[in-house]
Structure 1
Amino acid sequence: MREQPPYRRFAETLRKRIDGQEWKPGERLPSRAQLADEYGVTADVVRRAQEWLISEGVLTGRAGSGTYVAERRERRRLVRSPEQEQCAPDAQWTFESRTDGMVPASPEIAARLGIEEGAYCVRTAYEYLVDDKPVQLMTSWEPYDLTVGTLVLLPELGPLAGAGVVRRMAEIGVTVTDVEEWPEPGHADAEEANLLGIQKGALVTRIQRTYYSDDGRAVETADIVVPAAKCRIAYRFPVTR
């Protein structure tokens, strides 16, 4: 097994001291020089270890002041199932969205939708909020030629606004039978961090989702970003008897 780099090992040492409440939430850690001297490591190892723990929501940095133990926050439960996607079912949640009607497909999106590169898509960007605080981002793409001229062209406008992909596609005679999701860990970029209210580089879960019709055609694909420090993801599936 590949050995962990020194900063990761030192990060776990700090985490154990924090878990043991040697430093409590809101309390300032010793300086990097002090920690480096105490453990016989370089200041760079201490810096990278602290940056790693900041990205995981364990620590928080304050410019010109130092590094502090982050205040403990309750992680919301985000339930995903074939029937619906429900952010924090035990809380009040809303979403904000912005749709662009004719966006050329990038090579990646074209491959995911099975369309030609540069073909038009309907792109919708979502920000999901719980108690007015952001907990999830999503960007969705649908083939423009699939819904053009119908009442469901724009996902959040018209008689089926907010009804979801499956119901909207059924309205135009397209039966959605499968959904595929690929979750993987990642780090928030600057824009995501700003929208989600987290540190740049903080841990997130990225989910690549694609809906397919009964003839195997991809009818929608989306990129979903969930901050690990704020939410834990649960999957719920029906049991076939």
Structure 2
Amino acid sequence: MAADATPSYLRIADDLRATAQRSAAGTRMPSISTLGAEHGVSTGVVQRAYAVLVEEGLVLARPGAGYYVRSQEPPEVMVRRPRAASGDGSPTAAVLAEQGIAGTWRSESSPVRATAETAARLEIPAGDPVMHTSYVYLADGVPLMLAESWEPMAVTGGSLIVLPEAGPHAGIGVADRMALIGIDVGMPVERVTARAASRTEAAALGVAPAVPVLAVVRTYYDQVTGRPVETADVVMLGSRWVAEYGTRPQA
């Protein structure tokens, strides 16, 4: 009898598919090391098997936490609206709360030197110090949006708002933080495009590479001086977000 010529990663994927299909949504799948030892294969083979299931939409990859059975219910679509008024805190948290969704986020900030691209967007010399903050936004614990933000240290340095997610004014959003140092930013300027997620973005979002995303280049400006005070790259899962603009008149 001829030996089975099916690649190892596909045989493992078949086993994992059966496990996922009979497990409840949110169940943690076997670890890569466990499966590698069980099947006598390298971690790369197991990762390739899991990549098949991620591509099929059966499991969700959570960086640093493993793989989980993905709900097969249609995902709830969230509406992203422009920030309408000051005093609402984080615009993303406010938008999710309006839709009955528990929004949380992870972040990491560090001072860096502005690259040529960042400097051009902030209208500062390349190499000037900026505060860079990376965000992963979650809805009910599931990643759905990423953001990379830069703020000139010449604007925020030496103030209590220099770290967006630390100190007494953490987590209230760009507009409310800037208001604390006397800067009115008004509505941001946003450029929205559609593209495929990069491998890095897909890994952070726990989805297969090349899934559709909305990519937003956002910049806040001081309404008095016209200078940019924050710029960000925002990446949103196309399957989870729609963007809505304008305000409906009150009856």
TM-score, structure 2 as length reference:
0.64
Q: Retained in 2: the 8 A contact 1:128–1:137?
A: yes
Q: Which of the pair is proportionally richer in strand?
A: 1
Alignment of 1:24-35 (within 5 A): none
Aligned twin of 2:196? 187
Query: Which SS does the other structure have where 2:130 is aligned?
Result: strand
Give the SS at the match of 1:184.
strand
Q: Which of 211, 217, 224 is residue 227 of structure 2 equivalent to?
A: 217
Name the aligned partner's letter for residue 216 of structure 1: G
What's the counterpart of residue 16 of structure 2? none
Instruction: Give 1:117's match in structure 2, choosing from 120, 123, 126.
Output: 126
Aligned-residue offset at 1:190: 1.1
Answer yes or no: is the 8 Å Cα contact 2:79–2:241 preserved in 1: yes
Match of 2:158 in 1: 149
Give runs of aligned pairs for residues 42-61 of structure 1, distance below 5 A: 60=56
Contact 1:82 1:237 in 2 (8 A): no
Match of 1:42 in 2: none
- Distance in 1 between residues matched to 2:96 and 2:145, nearest whole Å: 8
Provide the TM-score with structure 1 as the length reference: 0.67
Displacement of 1:239? 5.8
Question: Which of 76, 88, 97 is matched with 2:107 structurally?
Answer: 97
The whole-number CA distance in structure 2 between the counterparts of 1:61 and 1:151 is 43
> Hey, what does 1:4 align to over in structure 2?
none
In structure 2, distance between residues paired with 1:135 and 1:144: 29
Partner of 1:135: 144
**RMSD of aligned residue pairs (Cα, Å):** 2.5
CA pair 123-240 structure 1, distance change in 2 beyond 3 A: farther
**Which segment is superposed worse, 191-200 or 83-92?**
83-92
What runs of 5+ residues in structure 1 fail to find an aligned partner?
1-25, 27-56, 63-69
Which amino acid is the alignment partner of residue 168 of structure 2?
A: P
For 2:243, the equivalent position in structure 1 comes to 234
Alpha-carbon separation, structure 1, partners of 2:139 and 2:73:
17
Residues 1:82 and 2:83 aligned together: yes
Q: Distance in 1 between matches of 2:227 and 2:168?
A: 24
CA contact (8 A) 1:93 1:131 kept: yes
Matched AA of 1:177: G
Question: Offset at 1:157?
Answer: 1.0
Report deviation, 1:186. Answer: 1.0
Contact 2:82–2:187, Cα closer than 8 Å, also in 1: no
Q: Secondary structure at the match of 1:208?
A: strand
Superimposed CA distance per residue, residues 188-210 of structure 1 (whole angstroms, 9 cap, x where no aligned partner): 11111111011111111100110
5+ long unaligned stretches in structure 2:
1-20, 22-53, 59-70, 85-90
Per-residue CA deviation, residues 64-96 of structure 1 (Å, 9 max, x unaligned), is xxxxxx945324213222233324722111111
Counterparts of 2:160 and 2:57, CA distance in 1 = 49
Structure 1 stretches of 4+ with a deviation exceeding 3 A read 236-241
